[in-house]
Structures are given as structure tokens and as C-alpha cells.
Amino acid sequence: MQITIDNPAAAPQPFGPYSQVARVEHADGGVLLYVSGQCAEGDDMATQTRGVFEALEQLLTAHGAGLDDIINIRTFLTDMDGFADYAAVRKEFLTGTPPTSTTVAVTRLVPPRALVEVEVVAAVTAPAQ
């Protein structure tokens, strides 16, 4: 097993001193990607959620994966009244079978104006031989 910690240059850079992707390569060629929580700019839940999923897509693409490879998603919302807006935008980006999921309410996030933060785990299967 090989582990690579990364901040892809083609994706938005982190707000703080942390890495955004941990890539775990297994001996059979399969890969797990652990993506740190992403926040985005915007005045409302829908705008921020759209920015979050765009950032997640860029981070996954940098590692040869896509949104369809997400197997687990954890969402942190500062106001559960925005859940419907979050869920509607999420459905635009995650169009297949929904991944396992947890959503929790938090009092605040690191960026002061952030309403939503999302972290994911993606699985990329080994290429057929």
C-alpha cells in the first residue's frame, strides 16, 4: 500500500495548513481518495454548495476520479433550514446511486461566512487486466 498526501495545483487551495487529498493505493491497483472538507464563497446555501461540489470535482479529477466514484460523503451545515437547498444542488452533481452519507448541524465553520462544508471518500477500481 502506498499513501500520497496532495494539494493539486489545478484545484482551489486550502484555507489553512492542511492537505486536501490523501490517496491510498492498494496492491491490487485500487485507490481510495480521502478528500478534506471543502467550503466555498457565496451569499447563500445553493451558491456555496455549487462551489463546494465544483471544488470536489476538481480535486477528484486531479487524481483520475470523478463524482461518480464517491462512496461516502459527510456534510456539515451551519443551519439545517438550508438543507433543502443543499440537497437540490447535491442532486445536480451526484446523479447516480447516492453514496453513504452523514449530515450534521454545526454552530460554525472555519471560514466565517461558510454555511456548508463537505468531505468525501472516493473509490477508484483497479483497471481490468
User: What confidence tens digit (pLDDT) does each residue in 37-90 have?
Assistant: 999 999 999 999 999 999 999 999 999 999 999 999 999 999 999 999 999 999
Closest CA to 55 of 39, 42, 68: 39
What is the reported pLDDT for 10?
A: 74
pTM for the model = 0.88
User: What confidence tens digit (pLDDT) does each residue in 102-111 have?
Assistant: 999 999 999 9
Is residue 111 within 8 Å of residue 15, measured between CB atoms?
A: yes
Is residue 101 within 8 Å of residue 118, measured between CB atoms?
A: no
Rounded to whole angstroms, the Cα distance separating 7 from 114 reads 21
Closest CA to 76 of 111, 43, 30: 111
